[in-house]
Chain A
Amino acid sequence: MNSYHVLKRFAVALVVASIFSLPLLSLCLAASPPTQIPKKCRALVNIKNDLYLVSATGTQIVRLTSDGLVKRFATLAPDGKLIAFMLDAEPNTFRVVSADGRRQGVYSAQYALDEPQTALSLYEDAPLIGISLRGADTIRLTKHIGPISSRFEFYRVPSDFSFHLTRRSRPASGEVCSIATNSDAVACVQGEDIFVNNNLVYSKDVPANASTLDAITLNVGRIESSKTYPSLKMQITSLNGGINLRVTFPDGTWQFARINSGGFMRVTVDDKTFYFVPTVANAQKGIVKIAIRAESAGSDKFDSVVAWRLSGNVLVVVDRSNHMTQLLFLGEKRSTGDRYIINRENLEISERIKDLEFVAPSILAFETDKRFGEIDLVHGKITDLPNMLNVNIDNVEIPSTILGWSCL
């Protein structure tokens, strides 16, 4: 199944018009002057190992826990009605508490999922390294696999806080995954790839601004050196099933790949990414041209975030390079059908985005190392929310780091 059909399966009714009706096309999403925090906003804070839900003024306070035990991964649902966290003493267990602090459920992260035997099922009992409340009642569990991917499971938290969670989807893998609000579709970001339901639907191409370092022509079997970098050697070993390219680097290391038409070999060394883009010049004579392109863009990846629009038919990812940061809207584009980018919008947030989620049809809540905020797609503005708040407890103001905001 090609990626077009994969996306088509879950994108039941993409309303392209709804995206293009947003006044975004020529609008740069930029931070607006600081405004007063809306009164409806509530923040989750951890003070001396206990969790509190506080108003924007730091005065109206609900104490959620009182055990003084070390909490990790505390997360606040976008609507502010649920809070979840883990205790250091309970490595594969998490707790969910109501916003009034009166009801609490304790859940194990190790469920027998009865999933088909795949490589991903190897990691069913992998250590739990994160939890996050998504939408009104869904919790996302993150289980560790390795540096490039984690296993993500999505469960619905029962409204009565009973023991049984309801599984919302099959597990998925990636740097980060997100489940659609109204379906079981799961989108994941991994490196330069975007997957939906574990199928690749979009990959970054060679960046348009990558500079061409060299262009050489070589015959099958012969080893040729780059003119620009003589110690960089290339060999087309055969044209069997594609262009079989072996590249030997100055330090003696090498990489081999069979490259299909239009494809490339990408090698990242420190901050520099090299692209070897071969094309067959003459198949009968075994002549291949290779363009060597490079970009000093070690961060030329997607940020580890992905968000579904509430309608469930469009994904938003953050496309970052050294040159610009853009919100990339992906969905089935009916007019062409073969591409998924349906919109791009410049985003004036320089720091890496750590979390991103639609909290209203046109409002994206985000978190970075430095701040929280909301991106208003209709009005093209970004509203910052602080990451510190003075919380007044027993008439003592305690500067507190905010773990999450809810402004619904």
Chain B
Amino acid sequence: MKTWPLAQTASPVPPTTPLVSCHSFSGPFLNSDGSGGEWSCNLLSQRQAAISAAKPVVPRESRVEGGEILTRVELNVVVTDSGQPVPGVSLSMDSDRASDTVTDPALPTDPDGVASAKVETRDQTSASTLSVNSPDISTPSPTTFNWLPAHYEDDFLVTCYVISLESDFTGSPLIGPVNGLPADRKYHQAFIQDVKLQGSGVALDGSTIHYDGHGAYSVQPCAYTAIHVCAVDGTTVAVDFNVIPRRANTTISTLGSRQAQDRGGAIVDFHIDEFFGTRRAACVQAGRRTLGVDFSSY
């Protein structure tokens, strides 16, 4: 086996491919002294790609489709040859999952051999493995990452809401019958007004009153959420189901884990309303906050 000739005169001559990628070529050669033979390149490519994946995010433009959120991972690819950065290389990337959408780097590697790519998916059920799909660049250690938890790119406005208590309104006049509620019962007027504002309230007899719309109320065993489970202080949050899927588990910074159980027309976009049960004073104290949120699981 000959090594690549310094002076080549025979035909076919290898194309003007950089030396480091000549491993795919072979052919006859003829030296100036008349000697010759078969050549082949034994300088296998030393080009390697190292991929690092940033933490998954939920892009700000992501909206829930089919109950799923869009998540994205930014990829940083460094191409080196024998430890030296290789600039000017256009890269193609591959994921091992068909459900991933890979966006190849828009630009060739920079002087530091670095290029940026991204991968997006609505299927967060398994890990993805990313590698470079170029014949002359190996990826000795493809990067593998889990899609969850994913951090929402935008912080959320975080507020709180409570369940109304009739015992807070005993100074208000009694009214009845109230549309939808038992005909023989009277309720304090301001309490009924507050139930319309908050959605639910606990009457003096312990029953839970719900505002159904159409100016009518009903009685329920607890304050139902939009997914028809009882709202629980410390668990339930109301969200925009276009931004956080219903029933999704989230982690709100400084607050901890909460589940997206409730919704309402007053909660739009990046707004989370935390259920405080009957703790009205604590809710007033909490006020308005701006907090980061992680999407944990469906």
Contacts and interface: CB of A to CB of B under 8 A. Distances in A.
Interface of A: 88, 91, 117-120, 122-123, 125-129, 144-150, 173, 175-176, 189-193, 200, 203-204, 240-242, 244, 249, 251, 253-260, 263, 265-270, 301-302, 304, 352, 354, 369
A249 B263 contact: no
A118 B179 contact: no
Contact of B159 (A127, A265, A267): A127
Contacts of A175: 264-266
B287 A127 contact: yes
Nearest to B60: A401
A270 B227 contact: yes
Contacts of B162: 146
A253 B161 contact: no
23 contacts: A91-B287, A119-B190, A119-B197, A120-B193, A120-B197, A145-B198, A146-B264, A193-B214, A200-B214, A203-B213, A204-B214, A240-B184, A241-B183, A255-B220, A258-B179, A258-B180, A263-B214, A265-B218, A266-B214, A267-B228, A270-B246, A352-B242, A369-B63
A254 to B, nearest CB: 6
Nearest to A304: B265
B265 A129 contact: no
Contacts of B290: 88
A146 B226 contact: no
A304 B271 CA distance: 15
B193 A147 contact: no
B218 A255 contact: yes
Given A191-B265, A269-B227, A146 B181 contact: no
Contacts of A265: 212, 218
B219 A122 contact: no
A258 B287 CA distance: 37
B234 interface: no
B157 interface: yes
Interface in B101-157: 157
Nearest to A192: B213
B262 interface: yes
Contacts of B287: 91, 127
Contact of B199 (A147, A241, A304): A147
Interface in B80-98: none
B14 to A, nearest CB: 44
Interface of B: 63, 157, 159, 161-162, 164, 169, 177, 179-184, 190-191, 193-194, 196-199, 210-221, 224, 226-228, 238, 242, 246, 262-269, 271, 273, 284, 287-288, 290
Contact of B266 (A244, A257, A268, A304): A304
A267 B227 CA distance: 10
Contacts of B284: 125-126
Nearest to B262: A147
Most chain-B Cβ atoms within 10 A of its Cβ — which of A147, A149, A189? A147
Contacts of A369: 63, 269
Contact of A191 (B193, B213, B218): B213
Given A126-B284, A149-B196, A270-B246, 8 more contacts: A145-B161, A146-B273, A147-B161, A148-B264, A176-B265, A241-B182, A253-B224, A255-B224
B46 to A, nearest CB: 39
B228 A270 contact: yes
A155 B273 CA distance: 26
